[in-house]
Structure 1
Amino acid sequence: MGYQVLITEPVNEKGLDFLREQGYHLIMGSGPDEETLIKECKDCDAALTRNGKFSARVFDSCPKLKVVSMHGVGVDGIDVDEATKRGIQISNAADSNQSSVAEYAIGLILMLAKHTVIYNNGLKTGDMSVRKLYGNDVRGKTLGIIGMGNIGKQVAQIASKGLGMKVVGYSRRITEKQDTDFGYLTPDMDEVVSLADYLSLHLPGTDATRKILSAERLSKMKESAYLINTGRGEVIDEAALIKMLQEGKLRGAALDVFEGNLPKADNPLLSMDNVITTPHTAAFTTEALERMSYQAALGIVEVLEKRPVTYAVNHL
């Protein structure tokens, strides 16, 4: 029998076909939780996952496991340090969804500026009073970006060159301001927050970024500004954001992610007219899902066939 690969949740067939072409036996899992993984991954050589909770317990229960490959970019649910201690490779689909998420973020900015959702809902319910509400042009407005990775850079390029926005980005890798072809970078996050008419977040979920948009930092935003988050919900103090929106200290928000990933039904953000909410779908395009599936599968093949790993998260 060839290598056994656990697929913890359904993914696009492109990656699965690639694994089958290698002669691997695919085990279609029933869920990403810890107990299910311990049961279903115990005899597997590899796992491809979307939301799998790969903890030290799981790793210890899977003695044959050589690689866990993430269908996506963020590896929040995988204990990378514990994997590294055990010689288990973690890979992801790092080049799969940047353009998709960047386009989505730009779309949210425009929907906020143009009141698209409010107009849509008003027309469909017969409320023509929405025609008394005017939107804004984004040309000449300042877009602040926190998280200048691949996605943040693409958002900056589209906003600057396509929409004529002024762009200022936060970078922790510099010590003084740097001019760029889309605007400039600064090492001062508070400067970005305070200048932005639209503040777009593109941060991973880590201990270092948890609630980095604290109540104090959020209070530095202009009352006329909008907040956009297509990164991870945990980077914002959600309770503080809700309070600011309720008190009129922030004009609005567009959120694709929330604390705990998806919001509970009674989350106040879901009932606010000035907040656009979507269910963590910024990367949900046909093209991105194909790329995510294939690149995640590629990481598995590279490890099992002892080839260099293209999208390695840890370095063994």
Structure 2
Amino acid sequence: MKVLIPQVITETGKNYLLEKGYEIKIGTASDEETIKSEVVDCDAILIRTAKITREIMEASKKLKVIARHGVGVDAIDLQAATELGIQVTNGPLSNFESVSEHTIAFILACGHHLTEMDRKVRGGNWGAREQVKLSEVNNKVLGLIGLGRIGLSVAKKASLGLGMKVIGYSRHAKKEEMPDYIELVGTIDEIFKKSDFVSLHIPATDETINIISMKYFKIMKPEAFLINCARGEIINELDLYDALINNMFKGAALDVMANEPPDKNNPLLKLDNIIFSPHFGAHSIETFDRMGLHAAMGIDEVLSGKKISWPVN
């Protein structure tokens, strides 16, 4: 059986498929028309970021499984896949360590003013060491919105590794299922009022788009920081800009933005009290190996009739 891989992945996933006896077809591009033409004789697609439409699925009469290289499946028409009897799988265990580490890196970078000090030293201002005071994160309150795998991993690292006090909010979390180092709170408001660092770990859905807005920025501590390694759309960026230029809270660190890449005229890019990275939190060597491997495992499980580890639909 044949597997189409439209975008580059590491050798780990490809080797797994080859060892299982599959033929790999490396795609030439990831646009819809190219994938439609190249999927015709394939039993599976292993995708990274390519958009998989109903038209692509219908182009192959053999297609049985679409495996996502990673976690999010918003680029796949799940309704069409289900109606056409095509199994979708993903890799929910593939990236949580890398993203949680990136979150911790942001927390430390904010508290210790790392990017600001880097700029000052490069500009010849060694005396900045007398002008700026860093903030230790030990005993500071970390508020987590979202307590899935990534949120729980951040909590563990922050509490047991850095000595932070962790509070968390999730509509689905149950107190008896939480580790003793996480204090559950009842509202998002409570997270923003009490936290020195607020870290977001929720998906972008109809309910959560623009949910983080001026309503919450107004009640943050003046010395607090906002961290987002989840999805850019959950923050109202106009409100965030207004809050930061008016010093409602100290600063932010964003791995994600509402539009990616952002428009070069986005006013947030001109602020010195934001640290940016380019949706990079999951881009570790180890994560890319796991994402390819877990997607390949999903393909083999479906095509060989095994129990599916991570079914989506």
TM tier, shorter chain?
Answer: over 0.9
Q: Does the residue aligned with 1:26 lie in a helix, a strand or coil?
A: strand
Other-structure match for 2:304: 305
CA 1:285–1:179: 2 relative to 1, 3 Å? closer
Measured after TM superposition, the shift of residue 207 of structure 1 is: 2.5
Matching of residue 286 in structure 1 with residue 285 in structure 2: yes
Decide whether aligned partners of structure 1 residues 67 and 274 sit closer, same or farther in structure 2, where only a CA change above 3 A counts.
same
Matched, 1:273 2:242: no
- Identity score, percent: 42
Number of the residue aligned with 2:114 = 116
Aligned to 1:260: 259
Change (3 A) 1:50 1:268: same
Q: 1:135 is paired with a residue of what secondary structure?
A: coil
Structure 2 CA distance, aligned partners of 1:218 and 1:297? 43
Which residue does 2:54 correspond to in 1? 56
Task: Spell out, residue by residue over 1:18-44, the C-alpha distance to the aligned partner (whole angstroms, 9 max, x if none).
Answer: 112222222222333333332332332
Deviations 1:133-154 (A, max 9, x none): 1110111211110110011001
Task: Measure, in 2, the Cα distance between the counterparts of 1:175 and 1:158.
Answer: 20
1:16 CA displacement: 0.6
Counterpart mapping for 1:1-80 below 5 A: 3-80=1-78
Greater displacement, 58-67 / 269-278: 58-67
Rounded Cα–Cα distance in structure 1 between residues aligned with 2:238 and 2:202: 19
State the Cα distance separating 1:256 from its structure 2 match. 0.6
How far does residue 177 in structure 1 lie from its aligned partner after superposition?
10
Match of 1:87 in 2: 85
Q: 1:57/1:190 Cα in 2 relative to 1: closer, same or farther (>3 Å)?
A: farther
More moved, 182-191 vs 46-55:
182-191
Q: Aligned to 1:58, what secondary structure does the other structure show?
A: helix
**TM-score, structure 1 length as denominator?**
0.92
**Residues in 1 aligned to 2:44 and 2:125: alpha-carbon distance in whole angstroms:** 55
| One-letter amino acid matched to 1:284 | H
**Structure 2 residue 239 is the aligned partner of structure 1 residue 240:** yes
**1:179, distance to aligned residue in structure 2 (A):** 7.1
User: What one-letter code is carried by the residue in structure 1 that aligns with 2:11?
Assistant: E
Unpaired runs of 5+ in structure 2? none
Task: Assess if the C-alpha contact under 8 Å between 2:141 and 2:195 holds in 1.
Answer: yes
Per-residue deviation, residues 261-283 of structure 1 (Å, max 9, x unmatched): 33222222223211110011111
The more displaced of 92-101 and 201-210 is 201-210
Query: Retained in 1: the 8 A contact 2:36–2:59?
Result: yes
Seen in structure 2, the aligned counterparts of structure 1 residues 44 and 183 have a Cα distance that, compared at 3 Å, is same
Structure 2 residue aligned with 1:125: 123
Letter of the aligned partner of 2:41 in structure 1?
Answer: D
Q: Which residue of 2 aligns with 1:221?
A: 220
Structure 1 residues 48 and 181: alpha-carbon distance in aligned structure 2, compared to 1, 3 A threshold:
same
Change (3 A) 1:36 1:164: same
Contact (CA 8 Å) 1:178, 1:185: kept in 2 or not?
A: no
CA 1:23–1:180: 2 relative to 1, 3 Å: closer
TM-score when normalising by structure 2: 0.93
- Structural RMSD (CA): 2.0
Q: Deviations over 1:207-260 (max 9, x none)?
A: 232222133233332332111111111111122212211222221111111113
Partner of 2:161: 162
Seen in structure 2, the aligned counterparts of structure 1 residues 65 and 221 have a Cα distance that, compared at 3 Å, is: farther
Q: Give the letter for the 1:19 counterpart.
A: L
Partner of 1:120, secondary structure, is helix
Change (3 A) 1:260 1:27: farther
Which position in structure 2 is the counterpart of 1:171?
Answer: 170
Q: How many residues align?
A: 312
Greater alpha carbon shift after TM alignment, 301-310 vs 242-251: 242-251
Q: 1:289 to 1:189 in 2, by over 3 A?
A: same
Distance in structure 2 (CA, Å) of the matches to 1:72 and 1:134: 39
Residue 307 of structure 1 and its aligned partner are, at CA, apart by 0.9
